[in-house]
Amino acid sequence: MRQTTAIFLTCLSLVFFTTGPASAQTALPSFGDAFAAHHTQVKLILSADTAKPGDTIWAGVDLKMESGWHTYWKNPGDAGSPTKIEWTLPPGISAGEIQWPLPEKLPPAEVTTYGYETEVVLLVPLTLASNLSGGPLNLAAKVSWLECKESCIPADATVEAKLNIGSETKTSAEASLVQSWQQKIPKPINNANWKIKVWWEKPATGDLRPLIFERPGIYSAAKNIPYSVDVFPEANDHFEIQSAVENLPSGIGGFHIRKFVKKFDGNWPTEIGGTLVATNYLGRQGYDFKLPIDEFLASEQSLLQMLLFAFIGGLILNIMPCVLPVIALKILGFVSEAKSEPRRVRKLGLIYALGVLLSFLALAAVVIGVKAAGHHAGWGMQFGSPVFIVCLTMLVTLVALNLFGVFEVTLGGRALDTAGELASKHGAAGAFFNGVLATMLATPCTAPFLGAALGFAFAQSASVIVLIFLTVGLGLASPYILLSWNPAWLKFLPKPGAWMEKFKIAMGFPMLATVVWLFNVAASSYGKNVLWLGIFLVVVAFAAWIFGEFFQRGRSRRGVALALVLILLAGGYAFALEKELDWRTAMPEANATGSLKESADGIDWQPWSVEAVAQARAAGKPVLVDFTADWCLTCQVNKKTSIEISSVREKLKSLNAVVLLGDYTHFPDAITTELNRYHRAGVPLVLVYPKNADTPPIVLPEILTPGIVLDALNRAGKP
């Protein structure tokens, strides 16, 4: 494509230069005359009217294009030709290289080119010899360029300017214009400060090979955060860096992008050069670089970073509200085992970890299977299934009832008391079940660091997905492994005694709170019909009480009690769940936007869509998007503490901002795709789009504070 385009443009140039109108070969005496011949006006400007011998001044070739027309950068890309300047200078004055301002990517997207629209000033340093004689000098240059719209037209013109040689330097009327374009010239990169590393991600596939550019990020507040990064390459006859850029997870203040290199001939390059284009709230900045390419630095470095993030994220999950009830059970287990042999305590710690790791392994298998089937996969996706929510709600209800002492279990317990038995036992079965339950309750939560690690994992191969998931599980289980392998630390726990029974009952209340939360999640699927799930839970609780009071602790008619329990469960299931709730039927679409009502604080939430964002940005309005889900506790806490508050509401109104809500409760594919764009495997994700439509969105962290949200809105409101 590249070579064919070059041949075509060469032929086109020959045709125009040999058969074109005479005006294409003549000088343009003024901007007005230029319009008659070309679609680009050209003029030579100087930074000084008078200069001293030995000075260096700036000359600028000012190209102004008609609307819709453009010219090209030093590397035009897949098509086009760079502007050329041929100087005619008096003795004693020499011209340096063209200093090219930062270009734009030009449409169409199918053919990537780099160039300028509206206007560009190409700057050239002119060095004056120290022995120049005083007086006026004439400076001239022949400028050749390619101007394009639907078609491309070669054009050229000779431009002139006068420079006086005197005893002092006097700036010209165009000095401020020259200075403004100097600010747009990319700066040389100081890699000692930037610490950019470039490496081949993996071997080539045919003539394509992925190349990684990375600057390590940190998790701290930084005003120079590059919201988006791209690489505009130097021209090369042997290979090209393709236009598409993939942003990969990175820390704040850093970047991690993937570009593809296409080779035409020869060996794969060992050095790469071009311009790094970083965009933040200050605008676009260019940085020229030439860096060595490391062979497979790699994936290993990125994977190690993501594994560290996965472990830290799993560790933080222990203090997230989703998992707190299980922590209470685990603490009770350690207290009850405090007098056991150290070997037994270590064994139980490992069994708990095994329950966690096997559960995460199962989650990884589900993710791999969903991806293999061609569907979107997301963190906590099982919470998008109403059937899973109902089953988990019943399970946690039984655990709470067991902690309250409504029923006890024995080794011979049957199906009804299996969950209660596992939760109440502090032996191997109890430890393993607590690990499974902790994992199930952890999946709707996204902790700091965890989002980046999971976003990375979901885009990788099956083996990397398994490795990342197991590392998250190891982080979740590590506090208990550490405690169980250091029995001396158990002395800081209270001694076993009668208080434990009261503590056990008290721990039933966090479990009951979890039931209430799960019931609310179920309401998003079943609407008002969720009442029948509540009725069935009451039936389950009544059956559990009869089982404990009259079957386990009773001395007569135990068979009648057991029969009554079975009748209650069967009847409650058939009537409440099957007939009235129809619990296996998918959620009606009408319920999907039930949370889009105006909040108590007056925030007018509108449904998110790509079109809604585009429409608001086209109108010059800032946009706040909250991707959330009913089952995501972190999302709900963020909303109540940092979004739906008076200070944020007032700021949104003062900015005339559009506020959009992306409901991920039932895993719509459109939102999964949008989350993947920002390298997130799940919610929460809050984006703040600046009013300037060309500025990328500000991505907020998983855990919000009012200050974080207000700072982002302040930045978004700037022109």
Last residue of a domain, one of 233, 266, 296: 296
pLDDT band per the 50, 70, 90 thresholds, residue 601: low
**How high is the pLDDT of residue 6?**
42
pLDDT > 70 in the chain, percent: 77
HSE-CB of 233 using CA atoms within 13 angstroms: 24
Residues 172, 200: one domain? no
* Res 50 pLDDT > 90: yes
% of the chain exceeding 90 in pLDDT: 34
- Residue at which a domain ends, from 258, 280, 296: 296
Q: Identity (one letter) of the amino acid at 256?
A: H
Are 10 and 142 members of one domain? yes
Task: Give the mean pLDDT of 642-649.
Answer: 92
Whether 577 is covered by a domain: the verdict is yes
Q: b/e for 242-252, b at 16 or more Cβ within 10 A?
A: bbebebbbbbe
Q: Judge if 126 and 266 occupy the same domain.
A: no
Residue 587 has pLDDT above 60, yes or no: no
Same domain, 213 and 329: no
Query: Is residue 102 assigned to a domain?
Result: yes
Reference 248, options 291, 207, 201; nearest CA is 201
Domain membership of residue 272 (yes or no) is yes
- Does one domain contain both 477 and 605? no
Residues 179 and 196 in one domain: no
Quick one: which of 106, 132, 114 has its CA closest to 50?
132
Most confident of the ranges 28-42, 231-245, 372-386: 231-245
Helix (H) or strand (E) holding 256: strand 255-263
Is residue 346 situated within a structural domain? yes
CATH of the domain at 242: 2.60.40
Give the model's confidence band at 298: pLDDT under 50 very low, under 70 low, under 90 confident, else very high: very low
Chain centroid to Cα 421, Å, comes to: 43
Find the mean pLDDT for residues 446-470: 76
- What pLDDT shows up at residue 374? 60
Whether residue 115 is found in the same domain as residue 200: no
| Residue 686 resides in a domain | yes
Residue 250 is predicted with a pLDDT of 64
Are 123 and 98 spatial neighbours (Cβ–Cβ below 8 Å)?
Answer: yes
Mean of pLDDT over the chain: 80
Q: Report pLDDT digits (tens) over 510-539.
A: 888 888 888 888 887 888 888 999 999 999
Report if residue 587 sits inside a domain. Answer: no
- In this prediction, residue 11 has a pLDDT band, given cuts at 50, 70 and 90, of very low
Can you tell me whether residue 541 is helix, strand or coil?
helix
Q: Give the pair of three-digit tokens for residue 614.
A: 């585009």
Q: Are residues 441 and 322 in the same domain?
A: yes
Mark whether 309 and 285 lie in a shared domain.
Answer: no
Q: Which pLDDT value is given to residue 411?
A: 37
- Please check whether residue 602 is in contact with residue 654, taking contact to mean a CB–CB distance below 8 angstroms: no
Look up the domain containing 507 and give its range. 302-581
Which DSSP state fits 574?
I
- Convert 338-371 into a string of H (helix), E (strand) and C (coil): CCCCHHHHHHHHHHHHHHHHHHHHHHHHHHHHHH
Phi-psi region of 419 (alpha: psi -120 to 50; beta: other; left: phi over 0): alpha
Q: Which of 15-29, 532-546, 605-619 has the lowest mean pLDDT?
A: 15-29
What distance in Å separates the CA atoms of residue 199 and residue 238, rounded to the nearest whole number? 18
Return the pLDDT at 490.
Answer: 61
Is residue 81's pLDDT more than 90? yes
**DSSP H helices in 224-341:** 298-317, 324-336
pLDDT (mean) for 75-102: 94
- What would the pLDDT profile of 200-227 be if each residue is shown by its tens digit? 877 778 888 889 898 876 443 344 455 6
Among 167-171, 179-183, 225-229, the range scoring the smallest mean pLDDT is: 225-229
Say what angle helices 646-655 and 706-716 make with each other, to 10 degrees: 10
Strand order in the sheet with 40-46: 40-46, 56-65, 119-128, 93-95
User: Residue 339 — pLDDT band, cuts 50, 70, 90?
Assistant: low
- If you average pLDDT over residues 3-31, what whole number do you get? 38
Residue 594 has pLDDT above 60, yes or no: no
pLDDT at 417: 41
> How high is the pLDDT of residue 425?
47
pLDDT in tens, 274-283: 999 988 766 7
Find the CATH number of the domain harbouring 637. Answer: 3.40.30.10
Q: Does residue 317 register a pLDDT over 70?
A: yes
Answer whether residue 421 shows pLDDT above 60. no
Tell me which residue of 491, 542, 543, 513 sits closest to 633, measured CA to CA: 513
CA distance 247 to 261: 16
Query: How many structural domains does the chain have?
Result: 4
Query: What pLDDT is recorded for position 170?
Result: 94
> Other CB atoms closer than 10 Å to residue 114's CB: what's the count?
25
| Claim to verify: residue 354 and residue 445 sit in the same structural domain | yes
- Return the minimum-mean-pLDDT range out of 239-243, 582-586, 590-594: 590-594
- Asked whether the whole model's pTM tops 0.85, one would answer no
Q: Is residue 270 part of a domain?
A: yes
Sign of CA dihedral 161, 165, 166, 167: positive
CATH number at residue 72: 2.60.40.1250
CA distances from 11 to 5, 144, 347 (A): 10, 16, 79
With respect to residue 586, please indicate whether it lies within any of the assigned structural domains.
no
Assess whether pLDDT exceeds 70 at residue 299. no
Q: Regarding predicted confidence, which is higher, 534 or 436?
A: 534
Q: Which of 183, 204, 225 is the last residue of a domain?
A: 183
3-state secondary structure of 521: helix
CA atoms within 13 A on the CB side of 517: 23
Check whether residue 165 and residue 218 sit in a common domain: no
Residues 636 and 510 in one domain: no
pLDDT at 18: 36
Token look-up 């039931």 returns: 515
pLDDT at 527: 82
Which of 22-36, 604-618, 648-662 comes out lowest in average pLDDT? 22-36
In tens, the pLDDT along 379-405 reads 666 777 788 888 888 888 888 888 788
pLDDT of residue 297: 52
Cα 605 from chain centroid (whole Å): 23
Residue 582, Ramachandran bin (φ over 0: left; ψ between -120 and 50: alpha; else beta): left
pLDDT single digits (tens) 128-162? 999 998 899 999 999 999 999 888 899 999 999 99
| Helix, coil or strand: residue 629 | coil
